[in-house]
Structure 1
Amino acid sequence: MDFGVVLQNNPPASRVVDLARQAETQGFDYVWTFDSHLLWQEPYVVYSQILAATRKVRVGPMVTNPATRDVTVTASAFATLNEMFGNRTVCGIGRGDSAVRVLNGRPTSLEELRRAVHVIRELASSRAVEHNGATLRFPWSTGSTLEVWVAGYGPKALALAGEVGDGFILQLADPDVTAWTVGAVKEAAERAGRDPDSLEFCVAAPMYIGDGDDPAVRAHMRDQTRWFGGMVGNHVADLVARYGEGSTLPRALTDYIAGRRGYDYNEHGRAGNTHTAFVPDEVVERFCLLGTPTEHVARLRELRELGVTQFAGYLMHDNKEETLRVYGEHVIPAMRATVLAKA
């Protein structure tokens, strides 16, 4: 299993770069950031500095969208970074949430998302593509490669990920929901004539290391990560509105939003979010990874058995450096294959 870290582009940008550098030092393979240009700083500028300050990690958005950025501009940014730093980028993409809704816009259609995946991947992989009635190519790009991973929750988005994505991103770590989504993506890939085992499956959720046996510490960890249930609830509310209460969506995903009363994007993705009281403790525990290293490893092994190939941990809380350190010293080594110098 690979490991990623998900950061917000809060100023100063140097702090984001430093956390990315620490993540690489602790053995993480990927560095992701939010892409919401009004709420936080411009990610592609920060990516350039992260790549310059590191040696191996891959960087990319979790997630961008086809609405706020022209797809050819997005592709150009990736191809440029790859030329500068040697194919160390990855593109996570979805229909759009905070970046779109803060502008009073709406998420794109799945067909628009499908076209975006194709155009971005082809152009950023130094290939020609048909777009807007023309054949386009970056004449300055040679040897660039880019994987495009699709994020989503609903049946149609999962099918799209299986049909065209190089990977799938699920933003929560509940095993039941993970099993349902991974299964749906693999089935869609098989129907499309693709090898489902060739896809990457990334689960992204807050990770917080602490003394899980201390009730006060446990409560603090939940309060620091409760915002995540509110963020996921935005997508779930859309799904319930589209498919109805009696749909095939797993109840582990949908039941908890019954008490949801709106959402303030000014507090999006922030610890201490003041309007996520509707998210119960049980959901926080299911959706996030909290507690001791042993607890984290147990959940990660369960997710790996379900087909997850990467865990990407959100660091939007007050214990960033310690969580990175413990992951590097205890959690990641426990998830690596044991190699003996002498058999």
Structure 2
Amino acid sequence: MSFGITVLPTDPPDRFIELARYVDQSDFDFFWLADTSLYGRYVYNYLTLCALNTTRVKIGTNCTHPLTRNPAVNFNAMAGIDELSGGRAIMTVGTGGGTVKELGYGVAKLKTVREMIEQGRALLTGEPIAYESETLTLRNAKLRFLARHDLPIYMTASGPKMLEMGGELCDGVIYMAGTDRNCIAAAQADIGRGAAKAGRSLESLDLACCVFGTIGEDRDAARDHCRSIAAWMVTTQPRFAALAGIPEEQAAAVSQAFSGSAHGPESKKAAALVTDAMIDTFTLAGDPSDFIAGIERLTDAGVTHIEFFPEGENQLGMAKLFAERVIPHFR
């Protein structure tokens, strides 16, 4: 079993460095930073801090999209992070969402993400690239400083077509499907179709189940804190809500009430309609024993890599509880 943690880079630098060093010294295998445009500190500044203050854990973005920066610039940045970290970086791509809408962009199209992956791999060869499409132009473009040519590329996705593309093109897929067995099976089936298209087996890929959650000694408070993110998942992932057996009328009521982001005050109306079943379907929430029980259900469903995305301001405190009270149960 592999474990990773994804955080929004919202802590000030000294606090973040403390978190990065703790993650590196604990039993986490991966440490990811969300590339959220204006929602947090600039992701590549903080990945640099991470690279210089860790020695073991693998690091990367969860995830980077092709819209707010030229994809070649993203790959150049990540090649630099890989060099700084001694070859521990992973490039993870996705379509973007609310974090790009505030900048006037829509969610990236499938072909745009495909271009980012394919042209990124071409750039990693160190050879000059000429490419032109509606959304991407490269004219004798070349990455001149490479730590390695086989920088891993992962995909973060929830939708079936993106998951399939991840299985086809990437070294790993971070899927956000909640914790329900039927949802996990559906996501892995999507990835498997892509892998088969490329003549690969599903087992050749690193498949990571990424779950939002809040862990704390106060079980009720932790569960209550996850209502907003559960409302966001119900609203944005109706396929998984249906597969998990959430009644259609309950899901529709939450979706109708939801507006804005999962972390804004406008989400409170929808959060009030979230049921315990929704919390359990789309998050890990509660005390360490609740997390252990939830992860045991995931392992029973065939999950071998868990990515924990803590919801709440005390990221270091939650990382410590997870590392010291949950991970040992599975090691």
TM score, norm. by length of structure 2: 0.86
The answer on whether the counterparts of 2:163 and 2:187 sit within 8 Å (CA) in structure 1 is yes
Choose 136-145 or 186-195, whichever is displaced more: 136-145
Q: Read off the aligned partner of 1:2 and give its amino acid letter.
A: S
The structural deviation recorded for 1:58 is 1.6
Partner of 1:170: 175
The answer on whether the counterparts of 1:236 and 1:257 sit within 8 Å (CA) in structure 2 is no
Q: 2:183 & 2:68 partners in 1: Cα distance?
A: 29
Of 235, 246, 252, the match for 1:258? 252
Q: 1:29 & 1:129 partners in 2: Cα distance?
A: 34
Q: Within 5 Å, which residues of 2 pair with 1:302-321? A: 302-317=297-312, 319-321=314-316
SS at match of 1:35: coil
Given the superposition, is the C-alpha separation of residues 231 and 63 from structure 1 closer, same or farther in structure 2, using an over 3 Å criterion?
farther
The answer on whether the counterparts of 2:219 and 2:287 sit within 8 Å (CA) in structure 1 is no
Given the superposition, is the C-alpha separation of residues 78 and 321 from structure 1 closer, same or farther in structure 2, using an over 3 Å criterion?
closer
Consecutive unaligned residues in structure 2, runs of 5 or more? 133-137
Q: State whether structure 2 residue 270 is matched by structure 1 residue 276.
A: yes
SS at match of 1:108: coil
Given the superposition, is the C-alpha separation of residues 34 and 139 from structure 1 closer, same or farther in structure 2, using an over 3 Å criterion?
closer
Q: Read off the aligned partner of 1:199 and give its amino acid letter.
A: L
Partner of 1:330: 325
Partner of 1:61: 61
Consecutive unaligned residues in structure 1, runs of 5 or more? 212-216, 337-343
Root-mean-square deviation over aligned CA pairs: 2.8
Q: 2:54 & 2:288 partners in 1: Cα distance?
A: 26
Partner of 2:70: 70
Q: 2:202 & 2:140 partners in 1: Cα distance?
A: 30
SS at match of 2:237: helix
Partner of 2:158: 153
Given the superposition, is the C-alpha separation of residues 59 and 123 from structure 1 closer, same or farther in structure 2, using an over 3 Å criterion?
same
The answer on whether the counterparts of 1:176 and 1:252 sit within 8 Å (CA) in structure 2 is no
Aligned length: 321
Partner of 1:21: 21
Q: Read off the aligned partner of 2:270 and give its amino acid letter.
A: T
Partner of 1:38: 38
The structural deviation recorded for 1:294 is 3.6
Partner of 2:7: 7
Same amino acid, percent of matched pairs? 24
Q: Read off the aligned partner of 2:164 and give its amino acid letter.
A: A
Partner of 1:340: none
The structural deviation recorded for 1:123 is 2.4
Partner of 1:341: none
The structural deviation recorded for 1:154 is 2.3
The answer on whether the counterparts of 2:75 and 2:91 sit within 8 Å (CA) in structure 1 is no
Q: State whether structure 2 residue 148 is matched by structure 1 residue 143.
A: yes
TM score, norm. by length of structure 1: 0.83
Partner of 1:339: none
Deviation sequence 1:17-46 (CA, Å, 0-9, x none): 322222222211111122122222110110
Q: 2:86 & 2:36 partners in 1: Cα distance?
A: 26
The structural deviation recorded for 1:99 is 2.2
The structural deviation recorded for 1:189 is 0.8
SS at match of 1:111: helix
Choose 25-34 or 72-81, whichever is displaced more: 25-34
Partner of 1:214: none
